[in-house]
Amino acid sequence: MKNDLLLRALKGLPVERPPVWIMRQAGRYLPDYIKLKNKYDFFTRCRTPELVSEITLLPIDQIGTDAAIIFSDILVVLQAMNIEVEMKPNFGPFIPNPIDSKEKVKNLITPNVRDKLGYVFEAIKITKRDLNDRVPLIGFAGSPWTLFCYLVQGSGSKTFDKSKGFAFANPKETEIILEKITLTTIEYLKGQIDAGADVVQIFDSWGGLLSPSDYSEFSLKYINRIVSAIKNYAPVIIFGKGCWFALNEMVKTGASGLGIDWSCSARNARYLSGGNITLQGNYDPAKLLSPISKIKSDVNQMINDFGKQSYIVNLGHGILPNIPVSHAKAFVDAVKEYKSL
C-alpha cells in the first residue's frame, strides 16, 4: 500500500500526520458525480461495478483523500432481505411496504449474501484493481438499528417515531428483525473483506435517537456481535451519530476506531473512550461553508485537540451536497500541510 496512513492510524502506529477522508465523499457535491447521476438511476449506479469504481475514485483524484470508500448504500442490505427500496430523486429512500406490523416480520428473509450482494463484492474487486494500492479501500454497512429505522418507518425521518414505537411495543419481533439483519451484515462485511476491503465502517446514523439503556438493548448489542465476528479479518470503525454516551462501551467491542460527531469535543471523546483507541471526526459538515482560511485554521486546531496520533481527520457526519469542491479540498489540504504547535 503506497499510502497506509489510515491503516497505521487504526493500529495506533506512529504517523507523520493523521490520515483524512470524508464521510459520503463519493457523491453528492462532486460535479462529475452529478453528471453520472443524471444518466443512471441510483441503484443502477450501485450495481454496475465499472460505475462504482469510477465514482469511488473521484474524490481520490479530485480532492486527494487518504482513503476510498466504496460507492454503495446501506439500504442494499434491506433489498437483499426481500424488501423493496426505491431511491426517489429529491426525496431519498422510500420503502413501499415497510414492516409496520407484527404480521409482516416474516417478509424479511436471511438471504444467501453471495447471490444477492455479489455485485458489491464484484465492484470492490474492480475498484481495488483500479486503485492499484494507492490508498486503502473502506467497505461499510449500516448498523442493524439504523436499517431497522428505515425498514419500519418506510423513509427517512428526523425522529423515526414509527420505528421507535414499533421497537418499544414489540420488543420480541424487533429482536427477531435485528437478529436477521445482524446475521446478514456479518456475511456481507466478511464478503466485502474477502473481495478486498481493507477496513470496514459501521454507520449507526440513528443510534443517537435512543436513550443509553435502549441503545445497549437495540443497537450496541448487535454492533458488538458484528465487530466480534469480523475484527480478526479487518479493522472496524464504529460511527454512532449522537452516541457519545456509548463511547466507553464501544471500546469494549474490540473496534479499531470510533467516529465522533461535532456534539462531542475532542477532549470529551478522548476522556469517554479511555484515551487509547483511535478516534475519527468531527468537523461540522456545515462549517465547510466557512471561508477557506477559516477551514484551514479550524483543521489545524482540531488536530491539535485530538492529537496527531491515533486520530483520523473526518467530518462529524456526511458531506452536504452544497459544499464547493474547493472547500472540501481545502479541508484535505489543511491536513497535509499540518504543522504541530
Cβ contact 281:307 at 8 Å = no
Nearer to ligand CP3, 75 or 260 (CB): 75
Q: Residue 97 Cβ, how far from ligand CP3 at the closest point, in Å?
A: 18
Nearer to ligand CP3, 28 or 287 (CB): 28
Strand ranges, E, within the chain: 68-69, 86-88, 92-94, 137-142, 199-204, 236-240, 257-260, 278-283, 311-315
Q: What is the C-alpha end-to-end distance of the chain, expressed in Å? A: 30
Q: Residue 339 Cβ, how far from ligand CP3 at the closest point, in Å?
A: 29
Nearer to ligand CP3, 24 or 329 (CB): 24
Nearer to ligand CP3, 235 or 270 (CB): 235
Nearer to ligand CP3, 37 or 287 (CB): 37
What is the contact surface with ligand CP3 in residues (CB under 6 A)?
23-28, 37, 42, 69, 71-75, 87, 92-93, 140, 156, 203, 205, 318
Q: Residue 182 Cβ, how far from ligand CP3 at the closest point, in Å?
A: 17
Alpha-carbon Rg for the chain, nearest whole angstrom, is 19
Residue whose C-beta lies closest to ligand CP3 = 27
Q: Which residue has the cell 452536504?
A: 320
Kindly give the residue spans of alpha helices, DSSP state H, lying in 154-262: 161-169, 171-195, 212-215, 221-230, 247-251
Q: Residue 318 Cβ, how far from ligand CP3 at the closest point, in Å?
A: 4
Q: Residue 268 Cβ, how far from ligand CP3 at the closest point, in Å?
A: 22
Cβ contact 205:141 at 8 Å = no
Q: Residue 325 Cβ, how far from ligand CP3 at the closest point, in Å?
A: 14
Strand partners, 138: 69, 199
Q: Residue 93 Cβ, how far from ligand CP3 at the closest point, in Å?
A: 5
Nearest to 283 by CA among 66, 11, 17, 20: 20
Nearer to ligand CP3, 62 or 300 (CB): 62
CA distance linking residue 301 with residue 340, whole number of Å: 9
Nearer to ligand CP3, 93 or 154 (CB): 93
CA distance linking residue 173 with residue 178, whole number of Å: 9
Cβ contact 242:198 at 8 Å = no
